[in-house]
């Protein structure tokens, strides 16, 4: 969808739940102060400009159960009345990471999505093993965070991590585990030094089979966004890797200019949803590596020629000075009436 969230949503006093997740709509979030029966508000992944925290009806605070506002471009302070929602069971908000207070800036982060902490190629990959069947979940690591939104069709509850003991390829420590999401899975790196980065995404399709049975018919298709830009549309792990339980690493150059890096995987409704069983669809990621890209200095031919000419000129000048000061051997000449002995003494003949 496109356009803004309809402001008319705030004029429906009998509505009790609103869910707008990864819809493609723009903010800001409308005023919900008239919705006295609202108990469940879930909005995520809005486009557009920054906005303020939405106004809510205070009479609903006593029954409010779920409040999820993630990646909604909300700026400013959180309202104090959140503490009055005593029956709130789920509160999920990714704060404005641009304003994150950082004691220091780092130039990389590594995540073993769905797996335990491990070291690969000299890099320490953080654990990402929190397991949940909740439709929305937020988790924060040392200098990264993840957000998962959406629920599987027909309310099917499925563990959002997956492990395969049959994967035996390279980087097994990273690719035997994976994290899934029914709709949108976002990873954030924050407190990053600004500059150019290289993002490597590790994938392996570990939920299907390749033995020509029913479970081999599954197709997982999703989109990849980095810094809000669509980098890969209709990404299919099996096709990219050339089979099941095979590694594929996709690399992207990105720019960080606000100390924050956002990587989002989004299911747009394509592929299968009930093969080999219900709830096996949506984005899947095994590991993420983001590191500061080395600076490449491209020197033009003209610059090289200029430097060489400058060096040659300086050398000629030094040789001339040394010759003039008599530090280099001169040939005896009678025309000048001056000759030099081996002991550097001069005799003038008149």
Residue 139: predicted pLDDT:
64
Residue written as tokens 């200019």?
257
Closest C-alpha among 13, 6, 8 to residue 59:
13
- Give the total residue count for the chain: 350
Interstrand relation of 17-21 and 40-44 (parallel, antiparallel or unpaired): parallel
C-alpha distances (whole Å) from 37 to each of 5, 13, 18 are: 20, 7, 11
Closest C-alpha among 38, 86, 40 to residue 59:
38
For residue 266, the SS3 value is strand
The pLDDT of residue 94 is above 60: no
Angle at 173 between CA 169 and CA 176, to 5 degrees: 65
Q: Report DSSP letters for 33-98, one per residue.
A: TT-TT--EEEEE--BSS-BPPPPB-GGGTTT--EEEEESS-B-SPPPGGGGG-TT--EEEE---GG
pLDDT band at 334 (very low <50, low <70, confident <90, very high): very low
Q: Which two tokens stand for residue 314?
A: 């300086």
pLDDT band at 50 (very low <50, low <70, confident <90, very high): confident
Closest C-alpha among 158, 131, 136, 179 to residue 279:
158
Cα–Cα distance, 134 to 151 (Å, whole number): 8
159-182 pLDDT, tens digit each: 778 888 777 777 889 999 999 988
253-310 pLDDT, tens digit each: 999 988 889 999 999 889 888 777 777 788 999 999 999 987 655 556 677 777 787 7
Q: Which two tokens stand for residue 286?
A: 């095994």
Query: Three-state SS string across 84-114, please?
Result: HCCCCCEEEECCCHHHCCCCCCECEEEEEEC
* Rg from Cα positions in the chain: 32
43 class by beta-carbon count within 10 Å (0-12 exposed, 13-18 middle, 19+ buried): buried
Domains identified in the chain and CATH numbers: 7-93 (no CATH), 102-292 (2.60.120.430)
The pLDDT of residue 103 is above 70: yes
Residue 286: predicted pLDDT:
96
Angle at 145 between CA 235 and CA 113, to 5 degrees: 50
Q: Which two tokens stand for residue 214?
A: 């029913």
Higher confidence at residue 193 or residue 154?
Answer: 193
237-249 pLDDT, tens digit each: 999 999 999 999 9
Is residue 306 within 8 A of residue 300, CB to CB? The reply is no
Q: Which two tokens stand for residue 115?
A: 């797996």
Lowest mean pLDDT across 147-161, 277-291, 303-317, 325-339: 325-339
Q: Which two tokens stand for residue 233?
A: 């549309």
pLDDT band at 101 (very low <50, low <70, confident <90, very high): low
Is residue 139 within 8 A of residue 124, CB to CB? The reply is no
Cα–Cα distance, 64 to 43 (Å, whole number): 15
Is residue 149 within 8 A of residue 220, CB to CB? The reply is no
Is residue 319 within 8 A of residue 313, CB to CB? The reply is no
Is residue 220 within 8 A of residue 237, CB to CB? The reply is yes
Cα–Cα distance, 236 to 5 (Å, whole number): 31
Is residue 145 within 8 A of residue 138, CB to CB? The reply is yes
105-127 pLDDT, tens digit each: 999 999 999 999 999 999 999 99
Residue written as tokens 């996709």?
250
Average pLDDT, the chain: 81
pLDDT band at 153 (very low <50, low <70, confident <90, very high): low
Residue 349: predicted pLDDT:
42
Residue 344: predicted pLDDT:
47
């Amino acid at each position: 969808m496109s356009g803004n969230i309809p402001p008319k949503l705030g004029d429906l006093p009998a509505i009790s739940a609103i869910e707008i997740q990864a819809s493609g709509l723009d903010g800001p979030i409308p005023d919900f102060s008239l919705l006295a029966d609202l108990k469940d508000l879930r909005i995520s992944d809005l486009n557009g400009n920054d906005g303020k925290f939405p106004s809510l009806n205070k009479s609903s605070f006593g029954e409010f159960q779920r409040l999820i506002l993630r990646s909604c471009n909300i700026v400013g302070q959180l309202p104090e009345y959140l503490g009055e929602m005593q029956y709130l069971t789920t509160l999920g908000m990714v704060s404005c990471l641009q304003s994150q207070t950082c004691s220091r800036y780092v130039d990389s982060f590594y995540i073993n999505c769905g797996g335990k902490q491990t070291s690969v190629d000299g890099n320490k990959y953080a654990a990402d093993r929190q397991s949940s069947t909740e439709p929305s979940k937020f988790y924060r690591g040392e200098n990264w965070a993840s957000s998962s939104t959406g629920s599987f069709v027909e309310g099917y509850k499925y563990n959002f991590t997956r492990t395969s003991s049959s994967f035996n390829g390279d980087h097994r420590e990273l690719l035997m585990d994976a994290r899934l999401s029914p709709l949108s899975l976002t990873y954030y790196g924050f407190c990053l030094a600004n500059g150019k980065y290289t993002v490597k995404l590790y994938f392996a399709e570990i939920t299907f089979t390749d033995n020509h049975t029913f479970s081999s018919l599954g197709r997982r298709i999703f989109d990849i966004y980095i810094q809000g830009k669509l980098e890969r549309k209709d990404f299919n792990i099996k096709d990219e890797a050339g089979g099941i339980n095979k590694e594929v690493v996709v690399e992207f150059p990105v720019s960080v200019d606000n100390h924050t890096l956002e990587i989002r995987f989004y299911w747009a409704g394509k592929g299968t949803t009930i093969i080999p069983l219900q709830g096996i669809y949506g984005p899947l990621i095994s590991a993420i590596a983001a590191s500061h890209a080395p600076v490449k200095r491209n020197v033009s031919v003209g610059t090289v020629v200029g430097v060489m000419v400058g060096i040659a000129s300086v050398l000629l000048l030094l040789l001339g000075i040394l010759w003039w000061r008599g530090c280099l051997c001169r040939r005896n000449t009678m025309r000048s009436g001056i000759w030099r002995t081996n002991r550097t003494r001069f005799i003038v003949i008149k």
